[in-house]
Amino acid sequence: MSLFFQQLINGLAWGGIYALIAIGYTMVYGIMQLINFAHGDVFMAGAFAGYVIAQLLPDKSSLPSVILVFLSAMLFSTFLGILIERLGYRSLWKKNAPRLSLLIVAVAISLLLENVGLMIFGAAPRSFPSIIPSRSFSLGSISFTNIQVIVILSSLVLMVALQLIVMRTKMGRAMRAVAEDSEMSALLGIPRERILSFTFALGSALAGVAGVMVAIYTPQINPLMGILPGLKAFVSAVLGGIGSIPGAMLGGFVLGEAETLVSAYISSSYRDLLAFLILIFVLLFLPSGLLGKGVAEKL
């Protein structure tokens, strides 16, 4: 039984990370019905921005430098997210281009980011400086590290903050309006383009933080690190019900737990398979996800 609880703790950390990335997928999907394949690479870029800043800092493990690393990762990925939206998606979105074109653009941008990363940093994994020295604690027979606690707590704090932005601010209300009916909200005077930029910025900032978290937790980074977590976070978003922010959070935690339980009790080599099996299962039997609303197709 203690093994079970131990695995639950481990799963919670990954769950928080998946949830943070999944939020970006689900918000963008809610507004423009696009699977933003480049989102996983924004997450990677955040990790690398943190890495570059951490290399520059003299005192790596002091509190200000930890905060600086997280902030710079957030800023860089926010900037990147806005840039992607501006240069890649906006013109096609305004033209009402087929969704297939947007999807192909997303794939191309993802390739672009990965290979720019590979050219700058090379394919070999780099170890991330230990800006937070790992310490273990134990509670009865369950042990956990301070990094796990930090990852879980800060992802929860960020999710609450996001929920406040979306539900309580003017910008958040505008976001929900555009997601509900993009054309109607434009008619009512909501600047759709600005809202789209804002959505990309929010999602990318969260992905950047998740990037640094993974970098500290694993602790290594490489330019292709975004592909698999990106796809899995997308699965989390579908599992929770795509377009629903609480759904993405729930889906992230469910997937994180399911993965660690499978690797603990069955085999770790099936860990990566599980996400895709869940995906196909959800698409077949529960297409609107755990918390999503089923939408009838309009003619």
Partner 1 sequence: MRAKNIILVIGIPFSLWLINHFISNPSIFSPYILQIIVLMGINAILAVSWDFISGVTGQFSIGQAGFMAIGAYSSAFLTLKYKVPFLPAILFALILSAIAGFIVGIPTLRLRGDYLAIATLGFGEIVRVAILNMPSLGGATGLKGIPIYSSFFSVYLALAITLWFCLALLKSQPGRILLSIREDEIASQMMGIDVVKYKVFAFTFSAALAGLAGALYAHWTSLVHPDSFSFMKSIEIILMGVLGGMGTIYGPAVGGMLITLLPEGLRLLLEQNPLLYQNKDFVRMLFFAILLLFFIILRPQGIFGKREAKG
Both tokens assigned to 123: 């394919």
Selection from 8, 13, 11 nearest residue 151 by Cα: 13
10 versus 36: smaller Cβ distance to partner 1: 36
Helix/strand/coil (H/E/C) assignment for every residue in 95-136: CCCCHHHHHHHHHHHHHHHHHHHHHHHCCCCEECCCCCCCCE
DSSP class of residue 188 equals T
Shortest separation between residue 153's beta carbon and partner 1, angstroms: 32
Residue 32 in contact with residue 221, Cβ under 8 Å? no
Residues in 219-278 that interact with partner 1 by CB under 8 A: 227, 231, 234-235, 238, 269-270, 272-273, 276-277
Cβ nearer to partner 1, comparing 23 with 279: 279
One residue of 12, 27, 109, 201 binding partner 1 per CB under 8 A: 109
CB of 36 to partner 1, least distance (A): 11
Where b means 16+ CB within 10 Å and e means fewer, 259-286 reads bbbbbbeeeeeebeebbeebbeebeeee
User: Is residue 48 near partner 1 by the rule CB under 8 A?
Assistant: no
Name the residue nearer to partner 1 (CB basis): 85 or 114.
114
Residues at the contact surface with partner 1, assessed by CB under 8 A:
33, 35, 88, 91-92, 97-101, 103-105, 107-109, 111-112, 114-116, 118-119, 227, 231, 234-235, 238, 269-270, 272-273, 276-277, 279-280, 283-284, 287, 297, 299
